[in-house]
Amino acid sequence: MAGMTSTGRIDGEKSQEQSAMSRIISPEDCMDDRKFQRCSGISGPASSDNQTVVQSSRAMMTNGPNIEWMPSRETYEARVRELGAQGVPRSKDLPAGFPKHIEGARAWTGSEFTKETSFVLQISTEEVHEIEKALKSFKDSRSGKDLAMVMQRTFPLPLFGKKLKEMSKIVHSGRGFAVIRGLDPEKFSRMDNVIIYLGVTSYIAEMRGRQDSTGSMLLHVKDMGDRVQNANMRQSPYANCAQPFHNDIGDVLAMYVLNTAKEGGDSLLASGATVYNEIATTRPDVIKLLAEDSWVFDKHDGSYQTRPLLFPFRTHGPGFCYSRRPITGSPTSPRPASIPPMTESQAEALDMVHFTAAKHQLALRLRKGDIQLINNLAVMHGRNGFSDGPAEHEQRHLLRLWLRNEALAWETPGPMKGEWEMAYGKSQGQGQGREGRWDTEPVCDRERIVSCKEVCA
């Protein structure tokens, strides 16, 4: 398997800025303008501008194989049947460096977790007091206004910190996810909530990554449709649509829940090891395809890159790292016709990963005050669509961090080192935000909210 990323230029204009889908789009829906607009997250009254978006999106979605950003089971199963009927010989051997089976705690299925206590770390009253004492200590220090300086040394948790360090080992080398529960965001100001979040997660991983080209160290995941004018084409972190299974950039994904939605918004997790094991057993030829560096990713800047979706980590075994949107395009980030199309076999493989993940998923109804931790290279994540209410406490609002623990981190895949460097590299202030920005409130900037380039899923 080749290790380096290759790039290519695209002639023509950049794709039109758009937002994200909220449910599966069937081929029939794509032929109905109103259904397509509704399920694509293209909100607002019918207009000539929206109709242009709909027509452009449909055209881009049908370039190459019939595959959607939010996968259609009907389309996937039809493709499996059609390719199988062709009788093309399939390899029964796995590629070099890929085992027949991944063993260990990170190979799980959602049905195994019958009680939340198996993955939730409940904060005791005494531990909350310790956190509050650490908050006061940091605010009283000379560094008290510099969020980049929140770390174990400046946010001392002599008792609870030991539990958090053990949890970090579980996230990195165990099942790959955990939830910290017991904080009450309403007790604290927004700034204090951010300081507590940074302080607690510093015991999981002290290095923090930049999450976009503006240097954002802290990202607000929130539906911004009512805050930004003409933001009917907003991307998925700023919309209420469902998201397919994917990985972010970085080692550990952290999400602090300030508020939950009135309805929906469940967090969906799936073990990458379990997905690998099932496909390796039933379709080793698909594993070989996923590990090839022939997958074309739209960089949304007039260029594209090719790399694998699946990587053979030496210590931990194979793991996935990709998101669908740069591969398939979406109604809000259409795939330019000038980008090389994926093959039918690639479309089958991509959807196979998603639906295998969905088969084994764990759906979590996170609570206000929860901190969710996900090993980005071991666990894939997605979410259900949601509906906010009129009151602030009914409006889903999460704070996202990209974390790295140098001592426990998995080796960075060769083709991904450039993106890791952008997030955590020395030129970015060692990931501590010295050259980054800390937005403690959501940024109501239309360009960011509709930008194709600044989001993952």
Cβ neighbour number for residue 114 with a 10 Å cutoff: 7
Name which residue leads in pLDDT, 392 or 18: 392
Query: How far apart are alpha carbons 402 and 375 in whole angstroms?
Result: 10
Which has the minimum average pLDDT: 21-30, 148-157, 233-242? 21-30
pLDDT of 343 strictly over 80: yes
pTM score:
0.85
What is the average per-residue pLDDT within 234-256?
Answer: 92
What is the average per-residue pLDDT within 432-452?
Answer: 72
Secondary-structure breakdown of the chain: helix, strand, coil percentages, each rounded to the nearest 5: 35, 20, 50
φ/ψ of 97, rounded to 5, equals 90, 0
Q: pLDDT band at 119, cuts 50/70/90?
A: very high
Query: How far apart are alpha carbons 326 and 333 in whole angstroms?
Result: 8
Which has the minimum average pLDDT: 63-67, 138-142, 349-353? 63-67
Query: How far apart are alpha carbons 436 and 101 in whole angstroms?
Result: 41
Beta bridge partners of 128: none
- 45-94 pLDDT, tens digit per residue, is 343 344 433 333 343 444 689 999 999 999 999 999 999 999 999 999 99
Contacts of 192 (CB under 8 A, 6+ apart): 135, 139
What is the average per-residue pLDDT within 204-215?
Answer: 93
Residue count (the chain):
457
Concatenated DSSP letters for 368-406?
Answer: TT-EEEEETTTEEEEE--EE--SSGGGS-EEEEEEEE-T
Q: pLDDT band at 263, cuts 50/70/90?
A: very high
Query: How far apart are alpha carbons 144 and 141 in whole angstroms?
Result: 5
